[in-house]
Structure 1
Amino acid sequence: MQFRLLGPLEVESSGGPPGSLVDLGGHRQRAVLAYLLLQANQVVSTSQLLSALWADDGAPMTARKILQNAVWKLRGVLSRPPRAEHGPELLTRAPGYLLRVPPLHVDLLDYEQRVVTGRAALAAGEVEPARRSLGEALALWRGPVLSDLVEEGICWPELTALQNRRLDVMEDHFEAALACGRHQLVLPDLESLVAAEPLRERASGQLMVALYRCGRQAEALAVFGRVRTALVEGLGLEPGRELHRLQQAILTQDPTLEVPRAVGGRGAANLAPVLRPAESPPAPAAPAAAPAPATPTAPAEPAAATEPTGRTEPADRAEPTAPAKPAVPAAEVSSPAGTSPVPPAWSCSASGSARNWARCRPRTGTGCSTR
């Protein structure tokens, strides 16, 4: 037998024609079976079953007898031929009952196993297997869980929890699909989910990304405006930081929002200039007010090695801050004897900075032209 809870309660016989459903009896029997299936392969106490069947302490004096009759009739339904080797069994186990059924025969258990597999793949970065597994899990849903019993007045906390967990699984599926570049495929489902659940920020952010990738930037920003209005007016809260950062990324057209395959197919773009150890720019015509930082090495030794007059005074004897007053041009500053950074028998084509000494050339006379 195949048991389906993700939608109206259905039990399909394994020996009959495809699609043939088993008659489960009245409302009470179907409710008992549904609650035992929600706790499949676990012992459910009698008190739990009584609370599920009669809420708000409205159980009659014969409630236990009614429950026992429902269990007895269900055993007759589950034992109908043909009997499979590992068919379902409804057993009495203190302090209540146990419905033993293979996990693959219950759509809820199959769904939960696929979700575990998909989330493990998503956490490992295997987005395509995660998308497939999570999509297969969601495909098992045929509507709201146990929708027929809900219409008859059943209201169990387990059903609400299942519905909320389904929304989380849908968001995981959307995340995997967006990581695979399938934004157009999930866009209709994202729009439907956000319209039904306007306070779910994660889904709203995923919709903003999908719309942006489809070239609908204005609509993506409008989604942020709607979710912000819903949060502020409904709860007095601002959207979280992630949603605010996503809004700014859309406004600035951040490349990280592009389709992952397109980004991965080209080299990473440098959004900020890279500082490289290149040469310093040429000195300005007028010296700056602040003294220039000293260079690590003074390139004056080559000039001393080729000096025709035989003078070998090293250049590192120069004072680190030669111009005493930066506002005065270098040509008008007189250097004490023996401390001039440039030998008097040489001519310079630029100011006396260490970087331009290599352009000095020998000339006759004792002066040094600084222009």
Structure 2
Amino acid sequence: MEIKVLGPLTAHERGVSLVPSAVKPRQILALLALQADRLVTVPTLMEELWGDALPRSASTTLQTYILQLRRNISAALAGEPERQAKLVLATQHGGYTLRVRPGRVDAQDFDALACAGRAAYDAGDYKSASSLLGEALGLWRGPALVDVKVGSILELEMLRMEEDRMAAQERRIDADLRLGRHSELVPELRVLVARHPMHETFCAQLMVALHRSGGAWRALEAYQRLRTTLVKELGLEPSPRLRRLQQAVLAGETELDHAELMAR
């Protein structure tokens, strides 16, 4: 079974789609996929589907949705009598487990690659860090579970995944800056800053890339745009660390390194 959640939800077995068209069974499949090979309890599934407004028939309805998913799995497994849907989507004490072979869920692949990328970065191997983190980020095909209605549980999962994605992106760009890829980073960073106008790290990275590319005045423009947005939206000034970066640009420091300046 191959499952993708980093974008639209897809799940295939031998080329046959397992994704149901009905809203709530899709939610169940998405949650089981994110917790692949781990028990998802009945109360967790019920909270995702109905929140605090549990219908009287919640238990029976949930079992019906599980049966629908198993029917989809059975149809895809036709011709493989040794594999049964109830073993792929297994009932365990208190809940259900979706059994998936390693490397078949893109979210798990992302986590593994991002972890390896962080380790390479911390070891000072910036080339490997950039490659691994870039590969991890390449698994994303848009917002996670963009075509799935989400409840409270999936909403938290999506928030966690997006935070992990942003952290991986920041670290990959840091690695590229350390590798001297300033000019080629500028277009990407301009897009990120436009999408996240109050994100200080992306602004700092853009300032470094611009300054090292001979555009100090453009770096100061980027700082001023961030400052204007923060003051207007939140009534706050940029952090002391970002102000130190601005002063370094004004002073014309040639060996500008935002990671070191932001850590002071």
TM-score by length of 1: 0.63
Q: Is the 8 A contact 2:4 2:11 kept in 1?
A: yes
Distance between the aligned counterparts of 2:55 and 2:149, measured in 1?
A: 21
User: Partner amino acid for 1:186?
Assistant: L
Partner of 1:47: 43
- Is it true that 1:71 corresponds to 2:66 in the alignment? yes
What 5-or-longer segments of structure 1 have no aligned partner? Answer: 259-371
Alpha carbons of structure 1 residues 96 and 4: separation in structure 2 relative to 1, 3 Å = same
User: Partner amino acid for 1:197?
Assistant: H
Q: Is the 8 A contact 2:48 2:151 kept in 1?
A: no
Distance between the aligned counterparts of 2:121 and 2:169, measured in 1?
A: 13
Distance between the aligned counterparts of 1:155 and 1:46, measured in 2?
A: 15
Q: Is the 8 A contact 1:11 1:21 kept in 2?
A: yes
Q: Is the 8 A contact 1:52 1:156 kept in 2?
A: no
The 3-state SS of whatever aligns with 1:58 is coil
- Aligned length in residues: 253
- Give the C-alpha shift of residue 9 in structure 1: 0.3
Distance between the aligned counterparts of 1:116 and 1:184, measured in 2?
A: 27
Partner of 1:33: 29
Partner of 2:260: none
Q: How does 1:181-220 map to 2 (within 5 A)?
A: 181-220=180-219
- Give the C-alpha shift of residue 150 in structure 1: 4.1
User: Partner amino acid for 1:69?
Assistant: T
User: Partner amino acid for 1:110?
Assistant: D
Alpha carbons of structure 1 residues 98 and 21: separation in structure 2 relative to 1, 3 Å = closer
Partner of 1:12: 12
Distance between the aligned counterparts of 1:74 and 1:180, measured in 2?
A: 48
Partner of 1:3: 3
What 5-or-longer segments of structure 2 have no aligned partner? Answer: 258-264
Partner of 2:261: none
- Is it true that 1:136 corresponds to 2:139 in the alignment? no
- Give the C-alpha shift of residue 58 in structure 1: 2.1
Partner of 1:298: none
Deviations 1:271-312 (A, max 9, x none): xxxxxxxxxxxxxxxxxxxxxxxxxxxxxxxxxxxxxxxxxx
Partner of 1:112: 111
Partner of 2:243: 244
User: Partner amino acid for 1:66?
Assistant: T
- Give the C-alpha shift of residue 145 in structure 1: 0.3
Distance between the aligned counterparts of 1:206 and 1:33, measured in 2?
A: 38
- Give the C-alpha shift of residue 151 in structure 1: 8.6
Partner of 1:285: none
User: Partner amino acid for 1:243?
Assistant: L
- Give the C-alpha shift of residue 153 in structure 1: 11
Q: Is the 8 A contact 2:19 2:29 kept in 1?
A: no
Moved more, 180-189 or 149-158: 149-158
- Give the C-alpha shift of residue 154 in structure 1: 9.4
Distance between the aligned counterparts of 2:63 and 2:18, measured in 1?
A: 21
| More contact order relative to length (CA 8 Å, sep ≥ 6) | 2
Moved more, 131-140 or 90-99: 90-99
User: Partner amino acid for 2:40?
Assistant: V
Q: Is the 8 A contact 1:211 1:220 kept in 2?
A: yes
Partner of 1:92: 91
Deviations 1:215-258 (A, max 9, x none): 22211101111112222232232222221121111112212128
User: Partner amino acid for 1:136?
Assistant: E
Q: What RMSD over aligned residues (CA atoms) do the two structures have, in Å?
A: 2.5
Partner of 1:169: 168
User: Partner amino acid for 1:51?
Assistant: E
Alpha carbons of structure 1 residues 224 and 159: separation in structure 2 relative to 1, 3 Å = same
Moved more, 57-66 or 28-37: 57-66
Alpha carbons of structure 1 residues 186 and 78: separation in structure 2 relative to 1, 3 Å = farther
Distance between the aligned counterparts of 2:151 and 2:56, measured in 1?
A: 22
User: Partner amino acid for 1:71?
Assistant: I
User: Partner amino acid for 1:40?
Assistant: A
Structure ranking higher in helix proportion: 2
The 3-state SS of whatever aligns with 1:141 is coil
